Amino acid sequence: MKTSDNDLARAAADGDAAAFASLLERQYDRLFRLAFRLTGTQADAEDLTQDICAALPSKLRSYRADAAVSTWLYRLCVNAAHDRRRKQATHARAASKWGEWEVDRRAGNAERAEEVDWLIAAMRNLPDDLRDTLALILDDITHRDAADILGVSEGTVSWRISEAKKHLKRIRAGGDLI
């Protein structure tokens, strides 16, 4: 029998270091996965996860028991990604990261699936808000939770997903990705 994440979070918020450790241990890989999808490179994802880890202890104080820990953490992650992106002065740098990746890919990774190539390049071309929303939905978050995490309405999430799909379709139709 294991303690629920919410209980762990509550205990951690009250200063229980062991609870904090095991909560983070449980959630780390999920956080990293989302971080990767939000940033687009492993290095950035590691850094973003580091940001979150560093700030988590103080953020935990604002954790309210009424939200699921996973949802709350995802929101933290999305916000941290935004903060990072803003720090990177312009969108250009983030985009160029995806660009480097694309170059790497072209350098030849024969075994990598074509679909993956396409997706990575396509994600690069999405506007930030669409990419964030899509990253959450692709991570099995429901539209309602995604709306909660992003601080927008559920309708907006659905709209963004359909926009993102349109974008992707257009990119696919356009053929050339760069």
Partner 1 sequence: MTDDLNDLKNAMESATPAPDGARKAANLALAQKNFAALQGSADQTRPTSSRPTRGLWTGVRQMLNTFTGRAALTASTAIVAVGFVILTPLGNDLVPNTVAKRPVQSPQETFTAEADMALEEAEITLLPAPAPAAPDVLQPKRSAAQSSTALGSVAMNDSMAIAPQTEPAPSRELDTESFANEPSNPIRIVSEDPVSTFSIDVDTASYAVVRNSLMNGLMPPKDAVRVEEMVNYFTYDYTAPDGDAAFRPSVSVSQTPWNQNTQLVHIGLQGAVPSIAERPPLNLVFLIDTSGSMDQPNKLPLLKQSFRLMLAQLRPEDEVAIVTYAGSAGQVLDPTPAAERSKIMAALDNLDAGGSTAGQEGLQQAYATAAAMTEEGDVTRVLLATDGDFNVGLSDPDALTDFIAEKRDSGTYLSVLGFGRGNLDDATMQALAQNGNGQAAYIDTLSEAQKVLVDQLTGALFPIANDVKIQVEFNPTQIAEYRLIGYETRALRREDFNNDKIDAGDIGSGHQVTALYEVTPVGSPAQLTDPLRYGSTDSAEPISDELGFLRLRYKAPGASESQLIETPISTDLSPNTGGDFAAAIAGFGQLLRDAPYLGNWGYEDAIALANETKGEDPFGYRSAAVQLMRLASSLSEQP
Binding to partner 1 (CB under 8 A) within 21-40 occurs at 21, 24-30, 32-33, 36-37
Note whether 144 binds partner 1 by CB under 8 A.
no
Among 74, 132, 136, 146, binds partner 1 (CB under 8 A): 132
Note whether 50 binds partner 1 by CB under 8 A.
yes
| CA–CA gap between residue 22 and residue 44 (Å, rounded) | 24
- Shortest separation between residue 159's beta carbon and partner 1, angstroms: 14
Among 10, 20, 98, 126, binds partner 1 (CB under 8 A): 20
Note whether 130 binds partner 1 by CB under 8 A.
no
Q: Which of 130, 116, 134, 126 is nearest to 94 (CA)?
A: 126
Note whether 104 binds partner 1 by CB under 8 A.
yes
Note whether 148 binds partner 1 by CB under 8 A.
no
Query: Which DSSP string do the residues of 48-104 spell out, in sequence order?
Result: HHHHHHHHHHHHGGG--TTS-HHHHHHHHHHHHHHHHHHHTSSHHHHHHHHHHHHHH
Among 64, 66, 140, 173, binds partner 1 (CB under 8 A): 140
Residue 70: C-alpha distances to residues 9, 24, 25, 81, 125 (Å): 10, 11, 13, 16, 28
Among 63, 67, 92, 157, binds partner 1 (CB under 8 A): 92
Note whether 73 binds partner 1 by CB under 8 A.
no
For the packed helices 128-138 and 69-87, what is the interaxial angle rounded to 10 degrees?
150
Note whether 99 binds partner 1 by CB under 8 A.
no
Among 64, 87, 173, 176, binds partner 1 (CB under 8 A): 87
- Shortest separation between residue 96's beta carbon and partner 1, angstroms: 13
